Amino acid sequence: MDYDFRSIESKWQAYWAANKTFKAETDSSKPKYYVLDMFPYPSGAGLHVGHPLGYIASDIFARYKRLKGFNVLHPMGYDAFGLPAEQYAIQTGQHPEKTTHDNVARYRSQLDRIGFSFDWDREFRTCDTDYYKWTQWAFLQMFNSWYDPEQDKARPISELIEKFKAEGKWDGLTEKEQSDLLMNYRIAYQGETSVNWCEGLGTVLANDEVKDGLSVRGGFPVEQKKMKQWQLRVSAYAGRLLDSLDSLDWTDSLKEMQRNWIGKSQGTEVEFDTVCDGRHKTVTIFTTRVDTIFGVTFMVLAPESELVDELTAESCREAVEAYRKEIKKKTERERIAQTKSVTGVFTGAYGINPLTGEQIPIWVSEYVLAGYGTGAIMAVPAHDSRDYAFARKFDLPIIPIIEGCDVSESSFDAKEGKMCNSGFLNGMDVKDAIEAAKDYVEEKGIGRRKTNYRLRDAIFSRQRYWGEPFPIYYKDGIACPVDEADLPLVLPQIDSYKPTGEAPLARAKDWTYKGYPLETSTMPGFAGSSAYYLRYMDPHNGDALVSREADEYWRAVDLYVGGTEHATGHLIYSRFWDKFLYDLGYVCEDEPFRKLVNQGMIQGRSNFVYRVVGTNTFVSLGLMGQYETTEIHVDVNIVHNDKLDMEAFRQWRPEYADAEFILENGEYVCGWAIEKMSKSMYNVVNPDLICDTFGADTLRLYEMFLGPVEQSKPWDTKGIDGVNRFLKKFWRLFYDRDQWLVEDAPATPAELKELHKLIGKEQADIENFSYNTTISAFMIAVGELSSLNCHKREILEPMVVLLSPFAPHIAEELWEKLGHAETVTYAEFPKFIPALAAEDNVTYPVQFNGKMRFTVDMPKAASPAEVEAAVRAHELTPKYVGDKSIAKVIVVPGRIINIVVK
């Protein structure tokens, strides 16, 4: 019987599905392990070979953990709401519900072919009403909570009302005033801020959905607009999101990305008196360098800041307003492109330095951001490069306050040196001066220490159709929550879901609740993906997002696999969401993902043919230098090992039907390049095709064999024959044509040694995701066992178990042939390891000054001193030592011997 992967794979996939082999029970008798993939967005293009990379890696781990006796939860589902699904639906002119449904079906059929051990009974889509009920529920909890900075946690809003009542701030307010007051505290709140408005998508976007001034989806320009939007008070959690990063088993680079995104900075707020047309006003600024306050020569306000209205002198008002208007006109992209240009305008107002009493001019410039700190700064041109550029442009004074620094060409930004021109700070080291100045302003009551974060609240509403409706209605302009009992609030059907600038839900018939109008924007894509890992623990629960029992058993995701592109989006929002639910006691862990592995991207490997200009003749790569040619992308699926299938090429497109070829050695060799995998490059490789040609086990092994999981690498079908050959060889340890070879004779020491080398390697590597080296070890073991002509059950049975996480179908088939009634999933890995006979000798390499010379064999139990004595007794001179003498002998037990010659 030859290795017939087609029948084997379809047989076992059907068996697993019919027997629910991978169904996970909430069963506390076994230790639990939760392995999760970032669930996919079902896009219209289907899966290419890059998508399953992470799923294969996590599946191997899940199967390995099952063998080790863990109760493994390994679910899968679809992130189906959100912009991409809706954009795709609009492009194809269909309802997003339908396209989502079709795309999900396609994904599922592709996933099913690869032999994943998902518990499909737990599958859901974020657009299922049963699921988004709990997204809406979570929103209501956030609406009904506030963040208490004293306890540093979220608490029910009712407790805040009690507090206000006790302080006499509540009674006597109108209903509207009470609502407005609470909006300033709710975790989910409606507020007017400057937001990213994307005209092309007809909606606002969160910061992580914008890159370089363009929308991540679609690449449309984004502008800043002041709008009233629903927001999540993520910033309240900034400190906790930052601090608990340390406890997570994530890569340093990803943690660093989140640290940068959260952007903690510890500084000082200082109050400056200002004068304008004889009026006085106090302006608070934020700085991290309060030590440089003696070098302040002007102040700057953000153009959007309300302070500008109050501080502009009548004589300057016209110029200031013109400047603000101009800034407002610019798109985000223009602002970024012009970062280097310096603009600004004088307000006519003056500030008074609280330490020196000196009067300094107040300017307005776009380099100061309204959304950070207080939207106002003290400018120290000698020690800040942005202030320096501004001072040079507008000819403002520059006063150095660090001894000996040169500010003739640029500012001196380093926090080092001795202070000067700085009153009581003179002579101090900069680091000490920072602390001394902070103490000073606090003592004098003109300022206070303050920590700021760059992390902003998340804009949570989208003026789009395909998302969760907000469970909010408006009673006389007051936002009120829908009763929890009335959830889910189902997304209504509408005639046209295309964006028109106004929210599509405004066109829905009877979009009301208790006779009042409902909120018409919908939630963003990240809403549904923020707590899905909790729902998998208890996916059919109608009474709670997750039962206490399920949550306390499964707790958190032990291993989470996905791409780095979610570093500042999903992975921040999920952590925030989890911490919020933790604060209110709904979940028992305050971090959702203990260990995170980022799989790399699979890039495409494009192939080219070279057409001789003006002809329909194509010249092979090696000969193209002799002709003038144009490079043309050719479908990689009709190229094998860079050799073009010429017949397939003629059939590929009508214009190539009569193509002629200039060959080298009878073959047409194509050129190649590494590019992004995309349709337009004709380099997309569909996993279905690989499963048809080589089988799912080969695909799984090959994707892992390409290199480390975390690393990005090009897909190159060239090497796939190698792992396919390995599987065939493995099969031949059991079968020679129709002859079953397995025998019950006891294994020899040499055979056992091979098995144990493999076990050692697999145990050491698999937990580090070094799957490529584990597979190498398999190849070596199978090669050795073939040449030993070993067909012993004692050896082969454990080999099948060890291989099963990687190539489950072939393992399952052979396991059955070995006479086991239960699937290999239930095989207990340690039970199948036969004892290894003690080895008697160790081979030590002997080096002279680090250079390898010869080896000596010594008993394993020999002490270093005995080894040294044996080496010294060896014939050492004159060949190795020459006319020098041995200074010392270094013996590293079990490793190496080095003889130092002087």
Partner RNA sequence: GCCCGAGUGGCGGAAUGGUAGACGCGAAGGACUCAAAAUCCUUUGUCCCUUAAAGACGUGCGGGUUCGAGCCCCGCCUCGGGCACCA
Interaction of residue 900 with RNA, rule CB under 7 A: yes
At position 405, the amino acid (one-letter code) is: C
- Measured from the CB of residue 588, what is the shortest distance to RNA in angstroms? 31
Nearer to RNA, 831 or 851 (CB): 851
Q: What is the CA radius of gyration of the chain?
A: 34
Closest alpha carbon to 609 in 580, 569, 582, 638: 638
Backbone angles phi, psi at 435, to 5 degrees: -65, -45
- 143 in Cβ contact with 187 (< 8 Å): yes
Residue 579 CB neighbour total at 10 angstroms: 22
- Measured from the CB of residue 852, what is the shortest distance to RNA in angstroms? 4
Nearer to RNA, 387 or 558 (CB): 387
For residue 893, cis peptide bond before it (omega within 30 degrees of 0)? no
How far apart are alpha carbons 267 and 247 in whole angstroms? 26
- Measured from the CB of residue 793, what is the shortest distance to RNA in angstroms? 22
The span of 72-80, 92-100, 494-502, 724-732 binding RNA (CB under 7 A) equals 724-732
Rounded (5°) CA angle 365-370-376: 65
Backbone angles phi, psi at 501, to 5 degrees: 100, -45
Interaction of residue 261 with RNA, rule CB under 7 A: yes
Nearer to RNA, 601 or 818 (CB): 601
Contacts of 337 (CB under 8 A, 6+ apart): 213
According to CB under 7 A, which one of 102, 112, 721, 868 is a site residue for RNA? 721
Q: Which residue has the tokens 């009763």?
A: 483
Backbone angles phi, psi at 129, to 5 degrees: -60, -35
- Measured from the CB of residue 451, what is the shortest distance to RNA in angstroms? 10
- Measured from the CB of residue 575, what is the shortest distance to RNA in angstroms? 16
Interaction of residue 622 with RNA, rule CB under 7 A: no
Is the CA virtual torsion 149, 155, 160, 163 positive or negative? negative
Is the CA virtual torsion 478, 484, 488, 493 positive or negative? negative
How far apart are alpha carbons 753 and 751 in whole angstroms? 5
Residues 295 to 334 in contact with RNA, rule: CB under 7 A: 302
Nearer to RNA, 384 or 591 (CB): 384
Residues 864 to 893 in contact with RNA, rule: CB under 7 A: 890, 892
How far apart are alpha carbons 822 and 828 in whole angstroms? 11
Residue 812 CB neighbour total at 10 angstroms: 25
The span of 583-591, 650-658, 710-718, 799-807 binding RNA (CB under 7 A) equals 710-718
Q: CA separation (Å) from 28 to 546, 595, 901?
A: 16, 22, 62
- 80 in Cβ contact with 127 (< 8 Å): yes
Nearer to RNA, 110 or 287 (CB): 287
According to CB under 7 A, which one of 729, 793, 817, 820 is a site residue for RNA? 729
Nearer to RNA, 337 or 613 (CB): 337
Q: CA separation (Å) from 143 to 20, 182, 577, 580?
A: 40, 10, 13, 12
Over the window 759 to 778, marking each residue x when it contacts RNA by CB under 7 A and - when it does not, the resulting string is -----------x-xx-xx--
How far apart are alpha carbons 672 and 656 in whole angstroms? 20
Residues 795 to 854 in contact with RNA, rule: CB under 7 A: 843, 845, 847, 849-850, 852
Closest alpha carbon to 80 in 523, 492, 547: 523
Residues 547 to 576 in contact with RNA, rule: CB under 7 A: 564, 567-568
According to CB under 7 A, which one of 69, 218, 427, 719 is a site residue for RNA? 719
3-state secondary structure of 155: strand
- Measured from the CB of residue 759, what is the shortest distance to RNA in angstroms? 16
- 600 in Cβ contact with 77 (< 8 Å): no
According to CB under 7 A, which one of 233, 713, 756, 792 is a site residue for RNA? 713
Interaction of residue 94 with RNA, rule CB under 7 A: no
According to CB under 7 A, which one of 193, 288, 331, 547 is a site residue for RNA? 288
- Measured from the CB of residue 707, what is the shortest distance to RNA in angstroms? 3
The span of 32-40, 196-204, 372-380, 491-499 binding RNA (CB under 7 A) equals 372-380
Contacts of 486 (CB under 8 A, 6+ apart): 471, 513
Interaction of residue 716 with RNA, rule CB under 7 A: yes
Residues 435 to 464 in contact with RNA, rule: CB under 7 A: 452, 454
Contacts of 171 (CB under 8 A, 6+ apart): 165
Nearer to RNA, 653 or 874 (CB): 874
Nearer to RNA, 48 or 566 (CB): 566
The span of 282-290, 354-362, 490-498, 868-876 binding RNA (CB under 7 A) equals 282-290
Residues 485 to 524 in contact with RNA, rule: CB under 7 A: none
Interaction of residue 725 with RNA, rule CB under 7 A: yes
Interaction of residue 604 with RNA, rule CB under 7 A: no
The span of 177-185, 275-283, 395-403, 704-712 binding RNA (CB under 7 A) equals 704-712
Interaction of residue 377 with RNA, rule CB under 7 A: yes
3-state secondary structure of 251: coil
How far apart are alpha carbons 137 and 159 in whole angstroms? 20
- Measured from the CB of residue 488, what is the shortest distance to RNA in angstroms? 33
According to CB under 7 A, which one of 43, 265, 284, 763 is a site residue for RNA? 265
Residue 510 CB neighbour total at 10 angstroms: 7
Total binding residues toward RNA, as defined by CB under 7 A = 78
Residues 189 to 208 in contact with RNA, rule: CB under 7 A: 207-208
3-state secondary structure of 777: helix
The span of 76-84, 105-113, 262-270, 531-539 binding RNA (CB under 7 A) equals 262-270
- Measured from the CB of residue 569, what is the shortest distance to RNA in angstroms? 9
Interaction of residue 17 with RNA, rule CB under 7 A: no
- Measured from the CB of residue 58, what is the shortest distance to RNA in angstroms? 18
- 778 in Cβ contact with 705 (< 8 Å): no
Nearer to RNA, 719 or 830 (CB): 719
Q: At what angle do helices 696-705 and 5-19 cross, to 10 degrees?
A: 90
Residues 638 to 657 in contact with RNA, rule: CB under 7 A: 641
Interaction of residue 4 with RNA, rule CB under 7 A: no
